Structure 1
Amino acid sequence: MNILFWHVHGSWATAFVQGKHRYLVPVNDARDEWGRGRARTFPWPETVEEVDVASLRPDDVDVIVLQRPAELDRIAHLGRKPKIFLEHNTPKGNVPDTRHPMADRDDLTIVHVTHFNDLFWDAGGTRTHVIEHGVVPPAVRWTGELERLAVVTNEPVRRNRVTGTDLYHRFTPVAPLDVYGMGVAGLRLDRVFTHDDPPQAAMHEQIAHRRAYLHLCRWTSLGLSLIEAMQIGMPVLALATTEAVAAVPADAGVLATRVDTLVEAAQWLIDDPDAARRMGAAARQSALARYGLDRFLADWDRLLEEHTCA
Structure 2
Amino acid sequence: MELSFEFFPPKSADGIEKLRATRARLMPLKPRFVSVTFGAGGSTQQGTLDTVIEIARSGVEAAPHLSCIGASAASIAAILGQFRENGIRRIVALRGDLPSGMVEIGEFPYASDLVRFIRRETGDWFHIEVAAYPEYHPQARSPRDDLDNLVRKFEAGADSAITQYFFNADAYFRLRDDASRRGIAAPIVPGIMPITNYAQLSRFSAMCGAEVPRWIGRRLESFGDDRESIRAFGLDVVSAMCERLLAEGVPGLHFYTLNGAAATEAVCRRLGLGAA
- Give the structure-1-normalised TM-score: 0.31
Higher relative contact order, chain-length normalized (CA < 8 Å, sep 6+): 2
Name the structure where strand makes up a greater proportion of residues: 1
